[in-house]
Structure 1
């Protein structure tokens, strides 16, 4: 089919999380005359709200879509209609049909000429249960290797990650706004580009480039300077109001990344590299519509705040799609003390002994009990806060009754008068009361078992069939424990933090943590790939190494080395005991570790 449009489509990313700034959609739509866009996409889904919203729906605990989306779209609707901007978002969470009704009502109340469609099919618990009963699949957890039959929790919900062709079909039928549940984060961009250019499913290279573009802009400010290890350079470019990204995608799949005009932050090779490395888990990058092969990809700076994407190759999509299952996981509570000054480890040992003694009648009911010191006191501190650390007492239990105040909170604060010098707990004790947690299980389901359906504003609906061709990919991504032809001739060195010359970025994918490292020049990359082996990462992790498998692969055109730390994050965001519940500080921890740094690289300046 020939392209409907000769010019590239310009797609703006307005949200990367439920906590993103709600004014972005309205600003992008209002600025259309000065900075035209054809579509706005937004990501409101995460593994955290997949669990919490599913639980709300199963218990009739309130509206199970994402209400912050309503805050974002309400002030934007008039300009969306005026400028004929398409919108595709995944804010439906666990009740996309209800969100569709709400948005339709808002449009009608304002008497706007906007057609609203929605996508269903992501809720697949019946398909999972049917296949499990028949023995069709054992539903192995792709993070931990556990089998679903052995999972000790009862699923409340299962959501499949849908592709973007339902969105494309809705636009083709005349939809202006398409609300979705658990489509993949990049699917709204794939759908918008597929519709705009009239692509076909066999155009894998075009789809793969749109897929990568989607992941570059779906986290909003992450590609324009947010969460970027070069953040210190952004102060002069404006870091109080970092702008939102725009992807320009041509008919042949060529992608350029830029940002909204006259806003802070930057779009550079480094900010794009940061966002890309955070999303991937290997050189094979999967979506329901296409697999992107990334081993030869790279970015090129084309001008201020304008970066071109190169080297992405398209391959057949997998025959399966990722599914996230939600279950009630029990309850958790925590209390914080603040030891200060000298002898902090000994102070913590004293309090722990006292607390464990008082918890003895109840401790057997806990599924987890942890005492952790977080932070360190400065030597010869200049103020009291610098000498203070956080002692966290954290517990989880199967039943709410197991963590009632008389069984957890009171035994922890009761020894205050007999404890270490300066013993003080946080007076906000709300965290010491039990709150529900939810377990999350990641597995695969054949795409043929998913009914991907488009629902139009007039009540009509139709199914998007699974890909006509697909591939069964190996569960093990290509991995290389250490580089070939490692070099050691980099001259004199200075001992110091890796992050003086190395950028990094990390994040969560279920209980897995992915972390990528990159540098400025090819010579620096020769050094980086020579020192960063799997064994080096284990050594740098030190006490944080969990004994699990680590995958490694190189991206030579991006001067990057990527690692996947399997099952590193204690079950994922919805029930983790870690402070770093999104895995974003794995990279920052590793950048702080000391290695031998070549002086000639340091002479170029520290990051």
Structure 2
């Protein structure tokens, strides 16, 4: 396949158009087929990995290594193959490139599956793959030598974790992807590269950037961050959805980044599609899953608090002023361990005396467990919702009581077994079930028992590992192997990023009378997880609102707004003055990350919406402009 890069000098080369086709393994099936039908798109990238399936695939690979048994489906994301199949002919016809991290823990196996599929479909596409993210052997040697691998969220030592690491997978950068494209690959398949790395690699290849062009790389890193979650930047998860998105939300377009030779870029979206691209949607995504003013990557560090976003047309936002710095000498690595087994049981409580009814369930269930209570390292009784006074219907009066349990004993939690077992058998589900007839008024349980059947869950330990121990390799389509060295120029950064309250805060009545109202009536935002850290950012639309927002949202105010959700952890704060945004990192706020969490908000995505519902003193003049 011919190289489609323009041959002009760098200053005249047109931007590369990179489309984001997936934000997770569950994203819409149509993306690759439809994006590949647009000949104006140069590269299609996608993210098929997150901590949820990373830990599953990691444990699967560890089990295969221990037993020698190979999974029939491979340790890659099979759904990617199904998504790619209907796009192959368009990709070949339009001479497009594709890069995805769907290789999970078996990029080689995925490459073989894709090659076989290309042959079966009669298309001549060159397939290469990236390896080096599996650092289990190197990490275990370092642990044996005394390396403590401090947790990124909590700073605690690995030796205090209480779990045995089974698998270690690090985040690779973009240099290998760029080299694969330079060598002529049409499809590049990766395991755990950073979410933004496929986009960065595409821009590196297209513009022939060197590894020390940090300004250009930093902009591409931000572009990759904005499109890596697909519709998060085109109207999905957007807190301004009621007026701007809801009228046309059935099938939002996938995002496209147009990255020029200097790195600056424009975010737009798929042609003839629903959804929107505005500074608001872009700011929302920018605030998602960041840890401070420095955005670290294996290839570059982007300083993002100087960044600017500007609407330059309908569904077109230009992003500039990202500062590029050298990457750190380390990269993020995650250890996977079997945490145990978990199950849950649900009761429905209705009407009056909800607190007392829930207490009755707890007393009876604990009495049934007796001495077996000590077999559970996690056992929580949680009421979700509230019964509305003088309800209009029964649903308004009904709440959910969830009994959530985790144990290292698979028998106690009936792992993989039907919950209807012999009465004399100790069993979590039976202890919950047997009290129904001596229960609270209206005692009603959920009839679907599948969640009460124990299943394994995995703990995840996020930390850092030197890039020097990573064996980053490209396996080219022609059977040659290229070693990718660690970055030659790096910079050491403090473990904790700068945190600060605003300078010269102004009182809320500086803009006239105030009224207590939900923060979200004038303020938009986004939140998410990184392991057990929760990040949450807020932004407003007008200059005077910015002065109010930065003055109002201090670290102390955030503690107050969190209410009972605040458990005393560290809160870091910083500002995006050009975006009218304040961002907080709630350190170790989530319950051990999404795989092991006992919370409903396993990914921290609802934290922002909870906080936007809290009341603060807002100038009446802002509220009169129109509630978001």
Report the TM-score, using the length of structure 2 for normalisation.
Answer: 0.94
Shift of 1:2: 5.3
* Contact 1:4 1:197 survives alignment (8 Å): no
> Could you tell me which residue of structure 2 aligns to residue 41 of structure 1?
45
Shift of 1:402: 2.4
3-state SS of 2:349 partner: coil
> Could you tell me which residue of structure 2 aligns to residue 130 of structure 1?
141
> Could you tell me which residue of structure 1 aligns to residue 346 of structure 2?
336
* Contact 2:215 2:324 survives alignment (8 Å): yes
3-state SS of 2:287 partner: helix
What is the root-mean-square deviation of aligned Cα atoms in Å? 1.2
1:277-317 superposed Cα distances (whole Å, 9 cap, x missing partner): 01311000000000000111121000100000022100010
3-state SS of 1:462 partner: strand
Query: Does 2:470 align with 1:454?
Result: no
Shift of 1:235: 4.3
> Could you tell me which residue of structure 2 aligns to residue 603 of structure 1?
624
Over 3 Å counting, the alpha-carbon distance change for 1:175 and 1:595 in structure 2 is: same
> Could you tell me which residue of structure 2 aligns to residue 18 of structure 1?
25
Over 3 Å counting, the alpha-carbon distance change for 1:593 and 1:513 in structure 2 is: same
> Could you tell me which residue of structure 2 aligns to residue 201 of structure 1?
211
* Contact 1:350 1:420 survives alignment (8 Å): yes
3-state SS of 1:401 partner: coil
Counterpart CA distance in 1 for 2:183 and 2:148 is 39
Aligned counterpart for 1:494 among listed residues 510, 515, 522: 515
3-state SS of 1:171 partner: helix
1:533-568 superposed Cα distances (whole Å, 9 cap, x missing partner): 111111110110011000000110110000000001
Aligned counterpart for 2:592 among listed residues 553, 568, 571: 571
Query: Does 2:548 align with 1:544?
Result: no
Counterpart CA distance in 2 for 1:277 and 1:91 is 25
Counterpart CA distance in 2 for 1:31 and 1:555 is 35
1:140-174 superposed Cα distances (whole Å, 9 cap, x missing partner): 11111121222211111111100011000000000
Shift of 1:5: 7.2
* Contact 2:175 2:211 survives alignment (8 Å): no
Shift of 1:236: 6.3
Report the TM-score, using the length of structure 1 for normalisation.
Answer: 0.98
> Could you tell me which residue of structure 2 aligns to residue 152 of structure 1?
162
* Contact 2:245 2:276 survives alignment (8 Å): no
Counterpart CA distance in 2 for 1:373 and 1:389 is 7
* Contact 1:12 1:40 survives alignment (8 Å): yes
Q: Equivalences for 1:62-141 in 2 at 5 Å?
A: 62=72, 63-135=74-146, 137-141=147-151
Counterpart CA distance in 2 for 1:263 and 1:239 is 10
Shift of 1:4: 9.9
| Paired positions, count | 602
Query: Does 2:392 align with 1:371?
Result: no
Counterpart CA distance in 1 for 2:90 and 2:578 is 41
Shift of 1:450: 0.4
Query: Does 2:445 align with 1:418?
Result: no
**Runs of at least 5 residues in structure 1 that lack an aligned partner in the other structure:** none
> Could you tell me which residue of structure 2 aligns to residue 483 of structure 1?
502
Counterpart CA distance in 2 for 1:525 and 1:221 is 26
1:36-67 superposed Cα distances (whole Å, 9 cap, x missing partner): 10000000010111101111222245521011
> Could you tell me which residue of structure 2 aligns to residue 51 of structure 1?
55
* Contact 1:440 1:574 survives alignment (8 Å): yes
> Could you tell me which residue of structure 2 aligns to residue 436 of structure 1?
456
Query: Does 2:198 align with 1:188?
Result: yes
Counterpart CA distance in 2 for 1:490 and 1:325 is 50
Counterpart CA distance in 2 for 1:184 and 1:226 is 22
Over 3 Å counting, the alpha-carbon distance change for 1:4 and 1:69 in structure 2 is: farther
3-state SS of 2:149 partner: coil
Counterpart CA distance in 2 for 1:147 and 1:352 is 35
**Runs of at least 5 residues in structure 2 that lack an aligned partner in the other structure:** 1-7, 65-70, 420-425
> Could you tell me which residue of structure 1 aligns to residue 277 of structure 2?
267
Shift of 1:237: 5.3
Over 3 Å counting, the alpha-carbon distance change for 1:4 and 1:153 in structure 2 is: farther
* Contact 2:11 2:261 survives alignment (8 Å): no
> Could you tell me which residue of structure 2 aligns to residue 504 of structure 1?
525
> Could you tell me which residue of structure 2 aligns to residue 30 of structure 1?
37
* Contact 1:4 1:196 survives alignment (8 Å): no
Counterpart CA distance in 2 for 1:367 and 1:148 is 19
* Contact 1:5 1:196 survives alignment (8 Å): no
* Contact 1:116 1:177 survives alignment (8 Å): yes
